[in-house]
Structure 1
Amino acid sequence: MYSGSLEDGCFCTIGGSSVCSHNSNWSMSVVTGYSTDSESENDVEIEETTDIKTTSGKFQQEYIEPLQFKRNKRIHSAYLADDGASNKMNKTTKDKAIRLKRKKSKGDPSILDDEEERKGYKGSWASSSSLSDDDEYDEVVAVPENESFVMKASDTIEQSEPDYEFKESSKYYGKRSDNSSIYDLPKDYQIRFATTVAGQKEYFTPKKLLSSFKAHESAVTSLEFFPHSGHMLLSAGNDCMIKLWSTTKPKSLIRDYHSHSKPVKHVTFSESGHEFISCSYDRTVKIWDTERGEVEYKHKVSSNPNMATFVPNKPNEYMAALDSRRVEHFDWRTKDSIQTYEHHQSAITWIEFINGGNQFITASDDRTLKIWDIRVNMPIKYIQDPKQQAMPIVKKHPNGQYFVGQSMDNQILVYSTKQQDKFKKNSNKFFSGHKSAAYAIQMGFTPDGKTLISGDSNGYCYFWDWKSTKVIRRLKVSEKVISCVDVHPLETSLVSMAGFDGNIYLYT
Structure 2
Amino acid sequence: MSLVQGYSSDSESENDSVGKISDIILPSLPHATSNEITKTVSGKFQKEFIDPLRFEKNKRIHKDFLIGNEEDGITELKKRKIYESQKATKAKSKVLNIQKSKKGDPSKFDDDFNGYKGSWGSSSSSSSPEHDSNETNDNEEIIEGTPIINGIETENFDFKESSNYYGNKSKNYSIFDLPKDYQIRFATTIAGQKEYFVPKKLLSSYKAHESAVTSLQFLPNSGHLLLSSGNDCMVKLWSVTKPKTLIRDYHCHTRAVKHCSFNNDGHQFVSCSYDRTVKIWDTEIGEVSYKKRLNSNPNMATFVPNKPDEIMVALQSAKVEHLDSRTGETIQTYEHHQSAITWIEFLNNGNQFITASDDRTLKIWDIRINMPIKYIQDPKQQAMPIVKKHPTLPFFVGQSMDNQILVYSCKKGDKFKKNNQKSFSGHNNAAYAIGMGFTPDGKTIFSGDSNGFCYFWDWKTSKIVRKIKISDKVISCVDMHPLETSLVSMAGFDGNIYIYT
| TM-score bucket of the superposed structures, by smaller chain | 0.7 to 0.9
Residue type of the partner of 1:161? Answer: E
Is 1:321 aligned to 2:314, yes or no?
yes
Cα distance change on mapping 1:443 and 1:25 into 2, 3 Å:
same
Cα distance change on mapping 1:93 and 1:383 into 2, 3 Å:
same
State which of 459, 464, 469 in structure 2 corresponds to 1:471: 464
Question: 1:352 touches 1:394 (CA, 8 Å); kept in 2?
Answer: yes
Matches within 5 A, 1:347-358: 347-358=340-351
Residue type of the partner of 1:414? Answer: V
Partner of residue 77, structure 2? none
State which of 153, 167, 170 in structure 2 corresponds to 1:174: 167
Counterpart of 2:442 in 1: which secondary structure?
coil
Partner of residue 450, structure 1? 443
Whole-angstrom distance in 2 between the partners of 1:212 and 1:417? 38
Is 1:161 aligned to 2:153, yes or no?
yes
Partner of residue 258, structure 1? 251
State which of 42, 46, 57 in structure 1 corresponds to 2:46: 57
Whole-angstrom distance in 1 between the partners of 2:115 and 2:417? 43
Counterpart of 1:188 in 2: which secondary structure?
helix
Per-residue deviation, 1:160: 2.1
Cα distance change on mapping 1:284 and 1:432 into 2, 3 Å:
same
Whole-angstrom distance in 2 between the partners of 1:13 and 1:391? 64
Question: 1:237 touches 1:264 (CA, 8 Å); kept in 2?
Answer: yes
Partner of residue 304, structure 2? 311
Cα distance change on mapping 1:174 and 1:133 into 2, 3 Å:
closer
What runs of 5+ residues in structure 2 fail to find an aligned partner? 19-37, 57-82, 96-106, 118-127, 140-149
Cα distance change on mapping 1:62 and 1:296 into 2, 3 Å:
closer
Whole-angstrom distance in 2 between the partners of 1:56 and 1:91? 32
Partner of residue 13, structure 1? 9
Partner of residue 28, structure 2? none
Is 1:336 aligned to 2:359, yes or no?
no
Residue type of the partner of 2:396? Answer: F
Cα distance change on mapping 1:218 and 1:136 into 2, 3 Å:
closer
Is 1:300 aligned to 2:323, yes or no?
no
Question: 2:366 touches 2:372 (CA, 8 Å); kept in 1?
Answer: yes
Whole-angstrom distance in 2 between the partners of 1:324 and 1:467? 38
Residue type of the partner of 2:152? Answer: S
Counterpart of 2:299 in 1: which secondary structure?
strand
Partner of residue 339, structure 2? 346
Alignment RMSD (CA, Å)? 3.4
Whole-angstrom distance in 1 between the partners of 2:13 and 2:329? 79
Is 1:496 aligned to 2:496, yes or no?
no
Counterpart of 1:189 in 2: which secondary structure?
helix
Deviations 1:100-144 (A, max 9, x none): xxxxxxxxxxxxxxxxxxxxxxxxxxxx99xx966999xxxxxxx
Counterpart of 1:497 in 2: which secondary structure?
strand
Matches within 5 A, 1:403-442: 403-442=396-435
Question: 1:496 touches 1:506 (CA, 8 Å); kept in 2?
Answer: yes
Cα distance change on mapping 1:382 and 1:62 into 2, 3 Å:
closer
Whole-angstrom distance in 2 between the partners of 1:496 and 1:260? 24
Whole-angstrom distance in 2 between the partners of 1:198 and 1:22? 93
Question: 2:490 touches 2:499 (CA, 8 Å); kept in 1?
Answer: yes
Residue type of the partner of 2:355? Answer: T
Per-residue deviation, 1:60: 9.1
Cα distance change on mapping 1:62 and 1:470 into 2, 3 Å:
closer
Partner of residue 117, structure 1? none
Counterpart of 1:20 in 2: which secondary structure?
helix
Residue type of the partner of 1:318? Answer: I
Whole-angstrom distance in 2 between the partners of 1:62 and 1:196? 86
Partner of residue 390, structure 2? 397
Partner of residue 225, structure 1? 218
Residue type of the partner of 1:463? Answer: F
Cα distance change on mapping 1:170 and 1:425 into 2, 3 Å:
same
State which of 258, 267, 270 in structure 1 corresponds to 2:260: 267
Identical aligned residues as a percent: 68
Counterpart of 1:338 in 2: which secondary structure?
strand
Per-residue deviation, 1:55: 2.5
Question: 2:448 touches 2:477 (CA, 8 Å); kept in 1?
Answer: yes
Q: Please report the TM-score for the alignment, with normalisation by the length of structure 1.
A: 0.74
Is 1:377 aligned to 2:370, yes or no?
yes
Is 1:188 aligned to 2:170, yes or no?
no
Deviations 1:210-250 (A, max 9, x none): 00000000000000000000000000001111000000000
Whole-angstrom distance in 2 between the partners of 1:288 and 1:2? 78
State which of 225, 230, 235 in structure 2 corresponds to 1:237: 230
Is 1:280 aligned to 2:276, yes or no?
no
Per-residue deviation, 1:13: 2.2
Per-residue deviation, 1:149: 5.5
Question: 2:222 touches 2:482 (CA, 8 Å); kept in 1?
Answer: yes
State which of 475, 491, 495 in structure 2 corresponds to 1:482: 475
Cα distance change on mapping 1:201 and 1:449 into 2, 3 Å:
same
Per-residue deviation, 1:58: 3.2
Counterpart of 1:420 in 2: which secondary structure?
coil
Whole-angstrom distance in 2 between the partners of 1:91 and 1:294? 56
Cα distance change on mapping 1:383 and 1:310 into 2, 3 Å:
same
Question: 2:271 touches 2:279 (CA, 8 Å); kept in 1?
Answer: yes
Counterpart of 1:319 in 2: which secondary structure?
strand
Per-residue deviation, 1:206: 0.5
Partner of residue 59, structure 2? none
Question: 2:449 touches 2:475 (CA, 8 Å); kept in 1?
Answer: yes
Counterpart of 1:457 in 2: which secondary structure?
coil
Per-residue deviation, 1:349: 0.4
Counterpart of 1:302 in 2: which secondary structure?
coil
Between the two proteins, the alignment pairs up a number of residues equal to: 411
Cα distance change on mapping 1:52 and 1:293 into 2, 3 Å:
farther
